[in-house]
Amino acid sequence: MNTGFLPITKQEMLDRGWDQVDFVYVCGDAYVDHPSFGASIITRVLEANGYKIGFIAQPDWKDPKSIDVFGKPRLGFLVSSGNMDSLVNHYTVAKKHRSTDAFTPGGVMGKRPDRAVIVYCNLIRQTYKKDAIIIGGLEASLRRMGHYDYWSDSVRRSILLESGADIISYGMGEHSIVEIADALNSGLDVKDVTFIKGTVYKTRDEDSIYDAIRLPDFETIENDKREYARSFALQYKNTDPFQAKTMYECYGGKTFVVQNPPALPLSELEMDDVYKLPYMRAYHPSYEAAGGVPALQEIKFSLTSNRGCYGECNFCALTMHEGRIVQARSHESIITEAKEMIEDPDFKGYIHDVGGPTAEFRAPACSKQMTKGACVGKRCLYPKPCINLNVDHSDYLSLLRKLRKLQGVKKVFVRSGFRYDYLVADKNKDFLKELCQYHVSGQLRVAPEHISDNVLSKMGKPGVEIYNEFVKEFEKVNEELHLNQFIVPYLMSSHPGSRLEDAIMLAQYLKKHHISPEQVQDFYPTPGTVSTTMYYTGLDPFTLEPVFVEHNPHKKAMQRALIQYWKPENYDIVKEALKEAGREDLIGFGEECLIPPRKMTYTYKLSKGKDKNKNNKDKYKSKDKSKNRSKDKAKPAKINKKINNKESNRHKKTR
């Protein structure tokens, strides 16, 4: 039974009969008590272990008193930027300010600072000089060692040093946060809490670091890109909880930041226990007047089925944060949550999603992973599926069947991304058929990202022939079912390895297959990914071989525009790109041409002569502004598939 929201004021603390809280949780997000929010899981897990938690959401970082709501906590402060990295939350890949923040009441931007973890910790230290500070969440987890920072275009120190915190709880945190709390509760000084898996600590005594790998010193990776790449490769190869070694990094010859091996993955029973905690599954009532918290609407009627991903795309931080070993909840746990969801007055009969980082992953890639770990230096799906990979959709299919039979459920959608190569590898096509028949809302999201092998190899993605095979299977199934459904491919421009000719190749592919993406994701270099290391160093961190990286903003704009070659506003830059690449053969009226030789302007007319209905394709005129030839007509490119691929969706389901 729900016991109510955690206290957010001192009076609410006193009303519970508490004189003092054990921990104060300071968060960059608004307070949403739902298991899709990392802060909610961590605080409820601590509460279930007997600890008293006070919650401070989005404090005024310019006012030290905003951190003093509950006074001095008995054991310490917990700090997180929230579900998203604060800089990704604030800025586009072009480093322009975003206008809204889905994790703030009313979607208002500006309620959290840039580099929120650092700012909050410094704010705490102004009043509480020696109290324990434990930082966690995505922002802290992926900055746990020296790292390239895209926004300042520099290599920055571990966030443990920049923030002045005592410990980082990295990864998902359920195991490590309870062990930290128990250690502090036993009377240990925070400086002596150095033995917990899934944590990072600092020390001045190198001799106390046992059986560990010494990474290149910070001053070395700050000035030598080759050494930076080598350091990242060592860290990446030590992300498996069963095989990873302790690693440490030296700063100034006297301070050492030490990363313990990752915490063990949760068992099914532990996952079930986490998700049955008494979440309110709502934002705090104090936000009602502001219109609530928009991010909740995206996930309120969605079900988390799993975590972790062995897909291991190079541009994704999941390997460094959640890990490669997939962990899943039981059917009973998920169905129990679904039944609670059905009782919600706002539930309209539609479960919006059942999934996680990858929707259909419901078990480790192979039987040995839960005892021996994931293979070091070998991937489960790239360049082709491992012979030991367990390709089986039966458990996920069984779960979906049970959910759609629940009374009160009209439709169960699956909107998490799918691994199309995993679907193709499954010889049993029953799952794909039922997916199309019952669980696709007209569009299925998959992520080919590109079609050029030059780029795909740097992404860690399979060749385009696998994607093409999947498209054929999808279309065949929908034809058999008499359904008119489409694939929504996620596409990315300017990823390391992508040259202008690769972008042109992608544009030609889109033209041939009548795909017209409305939005495109530029590669966004964020901490903790292989691709970001390539972007910064120009090297493959595993082979140290050179990788082409396009840094010129105008040439990056060319690559992006080519993916949307059909947009009138992109005509000039697409034409410039084609000329620069020596591909004038793609300028003309031929079937394979991307753009005509001269710029066309189309005006669409209603019967009353108003230029409003742009979907009325029977009434249009084309005008050539460069020459007085108003009678020349050219029909605009047919758009068979409109793709909505918002950038914010690329950062969901991590915390």
Q: Which residues have a Cβ under 8 Å from the Cβ of 582 and sit 6 or more positions away? A: none
Tell me what the mean pLDDT of segment 258-270 comes to: 97
Q: Is 313 annotated as a binding residue?
A: yes
Tell me what the mean pLDDT of segment 3-21 comes to: 95
H or E stretch covering 295: helix 294-299
Q: Look at the chain and count its residues.
A: 655
H or E stretch covering 354: strand 353-355
Structure tokens at 163: 């923030």
CATH number of 301-441: 3.30.750.210
User: In the chain, where does the domain assigned CATH 3.40.50.280 lie?
Assistant: 10-199
Task: Round to whole Å and give the CA distance between 562 and 577.
Answer: 8
Residue linked to tokens 């990286």:
549
Would you say 105 and 162 are in contact if contact means Cβ atoms under 8 Å apart? no
Q: Which residues have a Cβ under 8 Å from the Cβ of 121 and sit 6 or more positions away? A: 79, 133, 135, 163, 164, 165
pLDDT tens figures, 629-640: 333 333 333 333
Q: Is 40 helix (H, G, I), strand (E, B) or coil?
A: helix
Task: Round to whole Å and give the CA distance between 561 and 566.
Answer: 9
pLDDT at 611 over 70: no
Tell me what the mean pLDDT of segment 402-416 comes to: 96
Amino acid type, 631: K
Q: Could you tell me the pLDDT band of residue 610, with boundaries at 50, 70 and 90?
A: very low
Q: Which residues have a Cβ under 8 Å from the Cβ of 5 and sit 6 or more positions away? A: 31, 33, 55, 280, 284, 285
Structure confidence at residue 640 (pLDDT): 39
Q: Is 309 annotated as a binding residue?
A: yes
Amino acid type, 180: I
Range name among 53-57, 257-261, 519-523, 612-616 with the lowest pLDDT average: 612-616
Q: Is 250 annotated as a binding residue?
A: no
User: In the chain, where does the domain assigned CATH 3.30.750.210 lie?
Assistant: 301-441
pLDDT at 590 over 50: yes
pTM, to two decimals:
0.90
pLDDT at 613 over 90: no
Task: Round to whole Å and give the CA distance between 125 and 135.
Answer: 13
Q: Which residues have a Cβ under 8 Å from the Cβ of 310 and sit 6 or more positions away? A: 324, 325, 326, 361, 364, 365, 374, 379, 380, 381
Q: Could you tell me the pLDDT band of residue 370, with boundaries at 50, 70 and 90?
A: confident
Task: Round to whole Å and give the CA distance between 479 and 474.
Answer: 9
Structure confidence at residue 601 (pLDDT): 63
Amino acid type, 247: M
Cα angle 460, 463, 467; round to 5: 110
pLDDT at 643 over 60: no
pLDDT at 38 over 50: yes
Tell me what the mean pLDDT of segment 512-540 comes to: 95
Under DSSP, the state recorded for 528 is: T
DSSP assignment of 454-470 equals HHHHHHT---HHHHHHH
Q: Could you tell me the pLDDT band of residue 3, with boundaries at 50, 70 and 90?
A: low
Report, at the CATH architecture level, how domain 10-199 is classified: 3-Layer(aba) Sandwich (3.40)
CATH number of 445-599: 3.30.750.200
pLDDT tens figures, 153-201: 999 999 999 999 999 999 999 999 999 999 999 999 999 999 999 999 9
Task: Round to whole Å and give the CA distance between 496 and 308.
Answer: 24
Q: Which residues have a Cβ under 8 Å from the Cβ of 126 and sit 6 or more positions away? A: 64
pLDDT at 622 over 60: no
Structure confidence at residue 603 (pLDDT): 43
**Above pLDDT 90, what percent of the chain?**
87
User: In the chain, where does the domain assigned CATH 3.30.750.200 lie?
Assistant: 445-599
Q: Which residues have a Cβ under 8 Å from the Cβ of 271 and sit 6 or more positions away? A: 307, 327, 328, 329, 330, 333
Q: Could you tell me the pLDDT band of residue 441, with boundaries at 50, 70 and 90?
A: confident
